[in-house]
């Protein structure tokens, strides 16, 4: 009988992990707490830097999971993990030979940055809201009009000690550029401003897209964080910021304020860590055994990591880790440690 590996999470990392494990002759079981597979990517519209529809990633993966007969249990939340056993919130125990954590991360709750007025004023959105609006083809201001001026604020809930999120969320810079271009395509007359601390264009084609945004789409980039937003009588939002390159404070009225929310560690990580003995990094993400050859191993034998459960990552990086982790699980189960 082939060995069973529990994969916690049915996002893209979880699905790819399960597929790779299956092809190596193991019997993976995906435990997903929501009612569907696909994770966060399923809510996204187009993917950077190529503007590929997100469903081109999720749909083939979901189809492959079905075709390969991989066991999937939806709507079940894991409350405790030991190296050879997983306990669900129903109290059910599932024995297994190894566990791969693909439980991903959580999007930062923008209401915590109360000064931006998210959830208080109209016309303040998060990057995730914009993706949903794009999916539903209903991007507009609260009154249904086409925006004439849009501000996109980077680093909301990332690289921000004030909200206990010191780490860089990695993908928001390029997402800001991507959404700016998408919005510009939708509203060619709109002025679009990106407010940033640093622009980190680390991936292939990212820097090119950033240049294209400035040259071809005339999108403005202002180095400085927005300090506060307040509502105007006409429903627009007034923002205050400092252009740190010129050293001058500025005030601007915009029709839409879009907050690039970062990835933060799941709250569940705390008890998954304490029950399993796999350690967490100071930022709350799971800690890799090291950043090089063992980056998909947790600090506990038999518990593996893939995807954004260990740090913010792009889709490509997460999928690579999923393939890698399957091989490391195979080594562990076939040859012992």
Partner 1 sequence: MFYSHFCIPFIVGTVILFVTILYRYVMWIADLPKSDKRLIVKGLFTTATLRSIWETIRESLLHVSIFKRNALLGYMHCSLAFGWFLLIVVGWIETTAYMGAEFVPLQGHVFFRYFAIGIDNHIVTFDHIMDALLLFVLSGVALAWFKRLKSKHLGMRKTTKHTIGDRIALSFLWFIFPTRLVAESITAAVYGGGGFVTANIGAALNNILPASLLTGAFEPIWWIYSCALGGFFIAMPHSRYMHIFTEVPLIFLRNYRLRVRQSQSSYDNFQVQACSRCGICIDACQLQSQLGHNNVQSVYFLRDRRANSLNMNVASDCLMCGRCADRCPVGIDLNSLRLNSRAAMRNMPNERRYNYFNALDRSTGEGKVGYFAGCMTMLTPHTLTAMQTIFTAAGEDVWWADRDGGVCCGRPLRLTGETDSANKMVQYNTALFRKHGITTLVTSCPICLKTFREDYNLEGIEILHHSQYILRLINSGKISLQHSDNKTFTYHDPCELGRGNGIYDEPRSVITAIGTLIEPKHHHRDSLCCGSSLANTVISDSEQITISSSLTLELEATGAKTLVTACPLCKKALGRTTQQKIVDLSEIVATNLNTKP
When asked if residue 162 is in the footprint of partner 1 (CB under 8 A), the reply is: yes
Site for partner 1 in 243-302 (CB under 8 A): 249
Site string for partner 1, 226-245 (x = CB under 8 A): -xx-x---------------
**Token pair 């640093």 is at which residue?**
198
Tell me how far, at minimum, the Cβ of 111 lies from partner 1, in Å.
Answer: 9
Structure tokens of 57? 């990633």
Binders of partner 1 among residues 174 to 233 (CB under 8 A) are 227-228, 230
**Which tokens hold the place of 259?**
């907050």
Q: Which is nearer to partner 1, 192 or 226 (CB)?
A: 226
**Residue of 136, 161, 215, 233 interacting with partner 1 (CB under 8 A):** 161
User: Which residue of 121, 187, 193, 286 would you call a contact of partner 1, by CB under 8 A?
Assistant: 121
Q: What share of the chain is helix, strand, coil (3-state, %, to 5)?
A: 30, 30, 40
**Could you tell me the CA-to-CA distances from 243 to 102, 190, 195, 201 in Å, in that order?**
40, 21, 9, 21
Residues 99-118 that bind partner 1 (CB under 8 A): 112, 114-115, 117
Which residues neighbour 145 within 8 Å (Cβ) at sequence distance 6 or greater? 255
Give the C-alpha distances (Å, rounded to integers) separating 259 from 128, 160, 173: 9, 14, 11
Binds partner 1 by CB under 8 A, chosen from 164, 232, 245, 270 = 164
Paired tokens of 180: 């700016």
C-beta of residue 29 within 8 angstroms of C-beta of residue 7:
yes
Q: Shortest approach of partner 1 to residue 231 CB, angstroms?
A: 8
Interface size with partner 1, residues (CB under 8 A): 14
The site for partner 1 (CB under 8 A) is made up of 112, 114-115, 117, 120-121, 161-164, 227-228, 230, 249
């Amino acid at each position: 009988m082939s060995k069973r590996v529990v994969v916690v999470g049915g996002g893209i990392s979880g699905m790819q992990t399960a597929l790779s494990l299956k092809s190596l002759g193991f019997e993976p079981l995906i435990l997903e707490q929501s009612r569907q597979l696909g994770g966060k990517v399923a809510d996204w519209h187009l993917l950077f830097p190529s503007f590929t529809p997100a469903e081109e990633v999720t749909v083939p993966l979901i189809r492959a999971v079905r075709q390969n007969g991989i066991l999937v249990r939806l709507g079940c939340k894991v409350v405790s993990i030991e190296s050879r056993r997983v306990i669900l919130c129903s109290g059910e125990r599932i024995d297994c030979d190894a566990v791969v954590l693909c439980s991903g991360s959580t999007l930062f709750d923008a209401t915590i940055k109360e000064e931006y007025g998210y959830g208080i004023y109209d016309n303040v959105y998060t990057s995730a809201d914009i993706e949903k609006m794009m999916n539903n083809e209903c991007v507009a201001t609260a009154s249904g009009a086409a925006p004439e001026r849009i501000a996109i604020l980077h680093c909301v809930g990332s690289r921000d000690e004030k909200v206990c999120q010191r780490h860089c969320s990695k993908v928001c810079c390029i997402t800001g550029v991507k959404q700016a271009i998408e919005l510009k395509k939708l509203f060619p007359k709109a002025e679009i401003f990106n407010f940033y601390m640093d622009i980190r264009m680390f991936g292939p084609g990212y820097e090119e897209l950033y240049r294209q945004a400035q040259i071809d789409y005339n999108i403005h980039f202002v180095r400085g964080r927005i300090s506060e937003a307040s509502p105007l009588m006409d429903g627009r939002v007034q923002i205050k910021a400092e252009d740190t390159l010129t050293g001058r404070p500025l005030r601007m009225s915009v029709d839409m304020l879009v907050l690039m929310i970062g990835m933060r560690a799941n709250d569940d990580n705390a008890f998954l860590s304490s029950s399993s003995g796999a350690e967490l990094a100071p930022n709350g993400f799971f800690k890799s055994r090291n950043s090089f050859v063992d980056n998909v191993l947790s600090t506990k034998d038999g518990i593996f990591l893939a995807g954004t459960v260990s740090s913010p990552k792009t889709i490509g990086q997460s999928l690579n880790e999923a393939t890698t982790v399957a091989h490391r699980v195979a080594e562990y189960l076939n040859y012992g440690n």
